[in-house]
Amino acid sequence: MSASSESSARPAYITTPIYYVNDRPHIGSAYTTTLCDVWARAMRLDGRDVFFLTGTDEHGQKVEKSAKDRGMTPQALADENSAEFRKLLGPFNLSNDDFIRTTEPRHESQVQAFVSRLLASGDIYLGEFNGWYDEGQEEYITELRAKELEYKSPISGKPLVRATEKNYYFRLSAYQSKLEAFFAANPGFVRPAGRFNEVLGRLRDGLQDVPVTRTNFTWGIPMPNAPEHVIYVWIDALFNYATALGLGDDKGALAKDRAKYWPPEYHVIGKEILWFHAVIWPAMLMALGLPMPKCVYAHSFWIRNGQKMSKSLGNFVDLPTIETFFTKYGVDAWRWYMATQGPLGTQDADFSDKHFHEIYTAQLVNTFANCASRTSSMIEKYFGGAMPEAETASMPVSGAAGAPSWSAFTEATAKKTLAHYEAFELAEAADAALSIVRAVDLLINETAPFKLAKDPANLPQVARILAACAEGVRTAAVLLSPIMPAKCEEVLAAYGSGGVGSGGMVAAARWGGLKPGTRIAKCAPFMRTDPPAA
């Protein structure tokens, strides 16, 4: 079916960072990709034409070095680890539309095309860099840091030397005032707001031109006019957002289908890579004359039992650990925890087994599953498993004075949920959708249909209550489906509803979707499980 309105059929583009192949997937990468997946599914449910991109970042000195240490070629290492990231997509139920790798010819040729344009416009120029250099580490050190280190290498202790290198530079300094004007006009460009303030603070220190090539290693895209230089991995990587749509090859077939998705609605990233996305990337886009992304959303970090996760501490929530959660709680419970308890704000979030279990039990077992299960069991018991015939649209949601009708309440809640999804307020979207489940619970507790049903004279009243409960469960399942696609589909199938529906999110959740007589099977989407060992 077609989308509900012209505006809801708008293209919608969302991206994750592309992950380094010198690392394996872990909770961090899975987290960002899951958030984007929830948004992508919500927008698709609302009838939008979504393009959701993720991928891997495969060039650079670190990859070259790791490959050497392991006695393999950088390409072989990249192939091996990129496949690990790709393998994650199925089990996490991630619905990306493409997976870009920076070693693919389609990316490399477009990066060269973009860089050639920037050379031609004078935004990239050949310059000379002079600075403190750590010969052992093959690394330049800033003046400030060199002073702190007393001009000695922090690793070898040998004196730092003055070194000069010819590099290509991007004329970032020329974009200072243009960026300031753009930021002033777009106060929602970086979110959360606290992160935007950090960027604006640093911007006030003034922008310097940034090197965009290196000559001390070879694993990268050669500079088109000077192949002894390779394009710096960060510049190469940022372009992925544009090359995946074919924007660097505007006569190519890709751009024909995909150019409509530009600009991105969200670049979702972690806080540590905000400067690249909020300042360098927008300046590059300005230089290329491409429209700005609507929002760079920089979330904070998952930490583990109060500590930063790191390889040396060995406390990373890695894939094998995540798999134990999948086995015990299921992938949708994992997605629920990510979407509702994660570090979307400026604070880091602690991942603890105990907290996971508490949220699972309180929100999924005792609330969502309990409601779906109680309602379906009572319909089975009192109405032979068929949706009772009763008028419920005008029925008040509760006995409280001034309570809205079920149809008005669920319509307002669907609109609110959609608005939260659109704004990337995923925990708020989840909570709004779950408020329907809480209202169903309250209705059951207030009216006690299991007691009423003891007297056959009350059956019409029981029919009305349970019909409202069933429709409430269906509506909630529709609205929760971007977060828990498999479980919501299971509930919707048990409730005889042919999937989430169409015509936009609000229409799919409109009151009255379940027709009288529809077969409603007993279902219990989440089961109680033992708490983790203390």
**In what order do the strands lie in the sheet containing 124-134?**
139-141, 124-134, 161-170, 210-211
| Phi–psi pair at 190, nearest 5 degrees | -115, 130
CB of 63 to ligand ME8, least distance (A): 10
Q: Which is nearer to ligand ME8, 129 or 316 (CB)?
A: 316
Task: Examine residue 237 and tell whether it contacts ligand ME8 (CB under 6 A).
Answer: yes
One-letter amino acid of 31: Y
Tokens of 157: 């202790």
Q: Give, as ranges, the residues between 334 and 353 that touch ligand ME8 (CB under 6 A).
A: none
Binding mask 36-75 for ligand ME8 (x = CB under 6 A): ---------------------x------------------
Q: Which is nearer to ligand ME8, 80 or 272 (CB)?
A: 272
3-state secondary structure of 421: helix
Q: Which is nearer to ligand ME8, 195 or 510 (CB)?
A: 195
CA distance 93 to 324: 16
Q: Which is nearer to ligand ME8, 276 or 421 (CB)?
A: 276
Task: Examine residue 318 and tell whether it contacts ligand ME8 (CB under 6 A).
Answer: no
Distances (CA, A) of 105 to 98, 117, 368: 15, 18, 47
Task: Examine residue 309 and tell whether it contacts ligand ME8 (CB under 6 A).
Answer: yes
Distances (CA, A) of 77 to 64, 83, 255, 316: 9, 10, 30, 21
CA distance 323 to 310: 19
- Of residues 297, 301, 368, 383, which one binds ligand ME8 by CB under 6 A? 301
Is the separation of the CB atoms in 239 and 107 below 8 Å? yes
CA distance 50 to 488: 21
CB of 248 to ligand ME8, least distance (A): 15
CB of 323 to ligand ME8, least distance (A): 18
Q: Which is nearer to ligand ME8, 299 or 487 (CB)?
A: 299
CB of 43 to ligand ME8, least distance (A): 20
- Of residues 38, 42, 53, 269, which one binds ligand ME8 by CB under 6 A? 269
CA distance 462 to 466: 6
CB of 433 to ligand ME8, least distance (A): 24
Q: Give, as ranges, the residues between 14 and 43 that touch ligand ME8 (CB under 6 A).
A: 17-20, 23, 28-29, 31-32
Tokens of 335: 């997605």
Q: Which is nearer to ligand ME8, 306 or 498 (CB)?
A: 306
- Of residues 238, 295, 364, 483, which one binds ligand ME8 by CB under 6 A? 238
Closest CA to 356 of 530, 476, 481, 480: 530
| Phi–psi pair at 144, nearest 5 degrees | -60, -45
Segment lying near ligand ME8 (by CB under 6 A), choices 183-191, 265-273, 482-490, 523-531: 265-273
State the pairing for strand pair 161-170/210-211.
Answer: antiparallel
3-state secondary structure of 190: strand
CA distance 108 to 102: 7
Task: Examine residue 266 and tell whether it contacts ligand ME8 (CB under 6 A).
Answer: no
CB of 51 to ligand ME8, least distance (A): 16
Distances (CA, A) of 431 to 52, 101, 416, 426, 474: 24, 36, 10, 9, 16
> Virtual CA dihedral for 506, 261, 276, 164, nearest 10 degrees?
170
Task: Give Cβ neighbours of residue 60 (< 8 Å, ≥ 6 apart).
Answer: 20, 217, 219, 220, 233
Task: Examine residue 81 and tell whether it contacts ligand ME8 (CB under 6 A).
Answer: no
Task: Examine residue 247 and tell whether it contacts ligand ME8 (CB under 6 A).
Answer: no
Distances (CA, A) of 150 to 129, 132, 162, 188: 21, 11, 14, 42
Task: Examine residue 198 and tell whether it contacts ligand ME8 (CB under 6 A).
Answer: no
Residue nearest ligand ME8 by beta-carbon distance: 28
Task: Examine residue 270 and tell whether it contacts ligand ME8 (CB under 6 A).
Answer: yes
Q: Which is nearer to ligand ME8, 309 or 430 (CB)?
A: 309
Q: Which burial class, exposed, middle or buried, applies to 228 when counting CB atoms under 10 A from its CB (0-12, 13-18, 19+)?
A: exposed
Segment lying near ligand ME8 (by CB under 6 A), choices 232-240, 324-332, 424-432, 465-473: 232-240
Task: Examine residue 102 and tell whether it contacts ligand ME8 (CB under 6 A).
Answer: no
Q: Which is nearer to ligand ME8, 29 or 413 (CB)?
A: 29
Task: Examine residue 104 and tell whether it contacts ligand ME8 (CB under 6 A).
Answer: no
Size of the site for ligand ME8 (CB under 6 A): 20
Task: Examine residue 79 and tell whether it contacts ligand ME8 (CB under 6 A).
Answer: no
CB of 247 to ligand ME8, least distance (A): 15
Interacting residues toward ligand ME8 by CB under 6 A: 17-20, 23, 28-29, 31-32, 57, 237-238, 240, 269-270, 272-273, 301-302, 309
